[in-house]
Amino acid sequence: MRSRPKGNITIYSEQVNAEFEKVCEKYQRPVRDINEQCWILMGHRGRWSWGCKYDLHTEGKPAAVAFDPDYVWENRDKIIGWAHTHPNMEASPSNTDDITMKAWCNSLGKPLLCCIDGKDGLRSYWYMDDESQPIEVRSIRIRSKIYGLLP
Ligand SMILES: [Zn+2]
């Protein structure tokens, strides 16, 4: 797993930051302990199933998804989606996740996977295009790889 250079993380709106402060306060934990972690997922999408491994790692804030647009574009053929954590939250896509995933589907012109690790475990969603709602599928993590079914 490679680490990207620090100091270039995309943080979304004021509202996201406000939500983040609330989460910190609620759990009385320092900011650094509950930062959202994000990985690009590289792998293969077959006819019935998919498999991928964790690739480039970034650290952001809860409810924000961090990424590196240049790296994504360079590796667009191998990328099948993103994985990120929801520290102390359920593993359901946030509005920000939704907007980001749909934008990337549109930009890369293919369905993309969104795996979220939350307090209810790892859950995986396929965004088939930039308009329809994500579809949750069964998935399993084995070490640094995740395997699952297609919708
Ligand atoms: Zn999220």
Q: What is the pLDDT of residues 9-53, one digit of tens each?
A: 333 345 445 655 665 566 555 555 567 888 889 999 999 999 999
Distance from chain centroid for Cα 25: 24
d(CA 107, CA 101): 10
Residue 5 lies in a domain: no
The per-residue pLDDT for 10 is: 38
- C-alpha of residue 117 to centroid of ligand 1, in Å: 9
Residues with CB under 5 A from ligand 1 (ion): 94, 97
Number of domains in the chain: 1
- C-alpha of residue 61 to centroid of ligand 1, in Å: 9
Q: What is the pLDDT of residues 80-139, one digit of tens each?
A: 999 998 888 899 999 989 988 998 898 889 999 999 988 888 999 999 999 999 999 999
d(CA 26, CA 21): 9
Residue 114 lies in a domain: yes
- C-alpha of residue 64 to centroid of ligand 1, in Å: 6
Dihedral over Cα of 17, 19, 22, 24: its sign: negative
The per-residue pLDDT for 3 is: 42
Which CATH number is 45's domain given? 3.40.140
Full residue range of the structural domain in which residue 108 is found: 34-149
- C-alpha of residue 49 to centroid of ligand 1, in Å: 23
Residue 28 lies in a domain: no
- C-alpha of residue 40 to centroid of ligand 1, in Å: 13
Query: Model pTM?
Result: 0.76
Dihedral over Cα of 97, 103, 107, 110: its sign: positive
The per-residue pLDDT for 65 is: 53
From the list 54, 58, 78, 55, the residue with the least C-alpha distance to 67 is: 58
